[in-house]
Copies of this chain bind each other. A is one copy, B any other.
Amino acid sequence: MIALAAFAGCCAWHLAARRRRGTHQIPHLARKWRAEVRVAAHAARACGRAIIRAGHNHTSWATAPSWKGAAKIDPCTATDEENEALVRRAIASAFPHHAIIGEESSAAMGEIPALGLEDTWIVDPIDGTQNFVHGMPLSVVSLGLCVNRIPTVGVVYNPHSDELFVGVRGEGAWCNGERITCKAGAKRLDEALVIIDPAYERSPLGVRQLAAQYLGLLGANTRAIRAIGTSVYAIALVACGRASGFVIGVNDGDSPKPWDWCAAAVIAREAGAVLRMVDNRRTPPGDSRAPAGEGDSFDLFSRSGVCAATPELADALQQIALEAIAVPVDELDHF
């Protein structure tokens, strides 16, 4: 009897520990979108396990990845491709009529397919591939569903911290089953932890624009500046109040793509964050519009973006980004 009680206690402890780690924590949703969230969460976790496994085995990042872009520093690994195939199989099996736009297949095609009116998943099987290649534990899986071209379901999974972020348009945002809201505290830059991302912009003009943005943030006494190498997780951190703001896209090589926004945009908007374009630059194809959160329009094909806890902070980050974009070419040699 004692052993039985101890066994029961041990099982309860084990279940409680799994719950603490969030392994089973999908938010309780009404019928609508429940199946989509479950399928996406399941696929995202499977991708996450592959990321961890490849890291442990030193397989994916020990072998030379292939490279995207002119600077030859943007990698694509076997795990990226395998994860996208896994996601495609999971979605095709559960929702055979849904379309899919993926980072790796788009890179292979050399262009991003246009976003149609049919239900379309926009997925990044590893956001933060460069971190993954180096073995740095900062990469996430991002799966978003557009309905009528509007981001409607977002699932982001960080396998390193076992955090599952879920957002459903009009329903809310969650991390491991608990509601999240962005902390409305930081209105000024000297209160803010701001995440930037130089990504793969390395053109002579682009690097000066990036440096001008960095200088602008430092000169405005921004409390903390971080660069973590995954824009999706950066937006998720703003959504759950652990970062104040995120800004990206002063030129081409650091411009985000629809898979950087889709899932994260739903989560951020539902958590109360401000999401806006820095300016009107867009990736050529498609004409999707993510829903306006606070009066302004936001486009999934935007090549720049600000996500912030408050409109005041979004203003400040947008202003500094606009000034950086406008760095005069004839002053470039004077740094």
Contact = CB atoms under 8 A, between A and B. Distances in A.
A71 B227 contact: no
A101 interface: no
Given A7-B10, A243-B136, A73 B223 contact: yes
A10 B331 CA distance: 67
A237 interface: yes
Contacts of A243: 134, 136
B229 A224 contact: yes
A160 B158 CA distance: 13
A134 B212 contact: no
A73 B214 contact: no
Contact of A202 (B71, B218, B237, B244): B218
Given A3-B7, A137-B242, A161-B137, A73 B190 contact: yes
A40 B240 CA distance: 33
A165 B72 CA distance: 33
B14 A244 contact: no
B221 A202 contact: yes
Contacts of A223: 73, 130
Contacts of A3: 3-4, 7
B71 A221 contact: yes
A30 interface: no
A67 to B, nearest CB: 10
Contacts of A334: 331, 334-335
Q: How large is the interface on A (under 10, 10 to 19, 20 to 34, 35 or more residues)?
A: 35 or more
Contacts of A311: none
A224 B6 contact: no
B73 A134 contact: no
Nearest to A253: B218
Contacts of A73: 190, 221, 223-224
Nearest to A240: B135
Nearest to A55: B242
A22 to B, nearest CB: 13
B135 A241 contact: yes
A173 to B, nearest CB: 16
Interface in A186-225: 190, 193, 196, 198, 201-202, 204, 207-208, 210-212, 214-215, 218-219, 221, 223-225
Most chain B Cβ neighbours within 10 Å, of A214, A227, A237, A242: A214
A255 B3 CA distance: 58
Contacts of A160: 161
Most chain B Cβ neighbours within 10 Å, of A13, A72, A242, A334: A242
Contacts of A241: 135
Interface in A265-314: none
Q: Which 5 A-B pairs have the closest CB atoms?
A: A334-B334, A211-B215, A207-B218, A135-B242, A7-B7
A29 interface: no
Most chain B Cβ neighbours within 10 Å, of A4, A71, A215: A215
B10 A237 contact: no
Contact of A190 (B14, B72, B204, B227): B72
6 contacts: A3-B3, A13-B14, A73-B224, A130-B224, A208-B215, A334-B334
A53 interface: no
